[in-house]
């Protein structure tokens, strides 16, 4: 008899709450869990636990909390700080998914005798006959699809992952289900910020929680000409135009950084475009390795559109050649590769 026990990650929001309802209606033996990650964060505070527990009580499933603050600090906060210290722009959700939701939570699920874990992400898993393996795919949610932030999950657990919201196209449908079932979180607003930076001020967070502090340096162009001053490399991102404080004959944008010289490098918009990039920290889901050049669609930010490209693996790296030059490619962000709606895998932009 199939083990239909599933451990569902619950944030106290409407997506994971409706996921609990759907799983129960589909005949799963559902357990809810809320991971304690960072005190005072938007997904780890007293109202989060109360909302999640109340939903579980209402629909008649158990709820567990696990203290994972040390692990979150080790795998997510430390990486966030380290990226900014090295002039990279991180995406902490990707680290959290890899190590916390699809790492630690999966281990907790096995301890509880579960065969599956689930989350309220907008993504899809299914067995694919062509590739003879379980695959991670885009959901039907269009712009709300979250497969981009899931590329780094361990491939061996894909067959044990359920995304109950995979086939919904609109958030309004989710809220209607919640309202129809009298869930109190039905109209709870979505959290848009980084969970551990709930006020959105990541610079303040870095200054309070790391050795990163304001340090004046030069703003220069590609030729090395000094055009102005900055007060800390971590305060700038590639593609940034506003807040440079420079008068120039044409608009200037941040192109990159020279950490050794403590310089922000700026240039004109045409200089922001790149046709080739390299990624490391690879995680391939569809293949074990990429031995020959293949054509894929690539996303270089969560909010960016896909771009056509060719990729090939070079030991620990993947080389990406875009069909058309791409704007403001940012080290530290993820490049995620797709064939149609299937996630091939991804890596961190160097």
**Catalytic residue IDs:** 96, 195
Residue with tokens 């490098």: 265
Report which of 183, 171, 115, 128 is spatially closest to residue 146, judged by C-alpha positions: 171
Residue 315 burial (CB count, 10 A): 8
Rounded to whole angstroms, the Cα distance separating 289 from 42 reads 38
What are the two backbone dihedrals, phi and then psi, of residue 143, each rounded to the nearest 5 degrees?
-65, -25
Helix (H, G, I), strand (E, B) or coil at 161: strand
Distance of alpha carbon 334 from alpha carbon 218, whole angstroms: 28
Q: How far is CA 254 from CA 251, 264, 344, in A?
A: 10, 7, 31
Residue 322 bridge partners (DSSP): 309
Provide the residue count of the chain: 350
- Between helix 202-209 and helix 78-85 the angle, nearest 10°, is 100
Backbone angles phi, psi at 177, to 5 degrees: -60, -45
């Amino acid at each position: 008899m199939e083990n239909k026990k599933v451990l569902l990650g619950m944030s106290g929001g409407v997506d994971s709450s409706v996921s609990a309802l759907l799983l129960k209606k589909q005949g799963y033996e559902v357990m809810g869990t809320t991971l304690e990650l960072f005190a005072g964060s938007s997904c780890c505070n007293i109202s989060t636990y109360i909302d999640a527990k109340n939903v579980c009580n209402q629909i008649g499933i158990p709820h567990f909390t696990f203290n994972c603050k040390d692990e979150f600090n080790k795998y997510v906060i430390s990486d966030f700080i380290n990226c900014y210290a090295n002039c990279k722009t991180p995406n902490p959700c990707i680290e959290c998914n890899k190590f916390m939701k699809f790492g630690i939570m999966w281990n907790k699920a096995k301890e509880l005798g579960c065969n599956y874990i689930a989350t309220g992400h907008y993504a899809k898993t299914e067995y694919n006959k062509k590739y003879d393996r379980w695959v991670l795919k885009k959901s039907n949610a269009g712009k709300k699809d979250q497969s981009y932030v899931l590329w780094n999950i361990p491939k061996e657990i894909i067959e044990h992952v359920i995304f109950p919201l995979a086939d919904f196209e609109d958030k309004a449908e989710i809220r209607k289900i919640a309202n129809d079932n009298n869930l109190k979180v039905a109209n709870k607003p979505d959290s848009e910020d980084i969970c551990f930076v709930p006020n959105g001020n990541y610079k303040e967070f870095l200054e309070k929680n790391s050795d990163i502090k304001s340090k004046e340096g030069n703003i220069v162009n590609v030729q090395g000409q000094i055009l102005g001053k900055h007060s800390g490399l971590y305060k700038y991102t590639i593609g940034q135009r506003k807040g440079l404080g420079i008068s120039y004959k044409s608009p200037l944008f941040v192109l990159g950084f020279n950490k050794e010289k403590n310089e922000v490098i700026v240039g004109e918009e045409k200089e922001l475009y790149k046709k080739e990039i390299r990624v490391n920290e690879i995680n391939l889901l569809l293949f074990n390795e990429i031995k020959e050049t293949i054509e894929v669609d690539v996303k270089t930010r969560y909010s960016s559109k896909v771009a056509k490209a060719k990729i090939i693996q070079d030991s620990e790296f993947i080389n990406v050649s875009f069909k058309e030059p791409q704007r403001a490619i940012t080290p530290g962000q993820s490049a995620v590769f797709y064939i149609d709606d299937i996630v091939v895998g991804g890596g961190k932009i160097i």
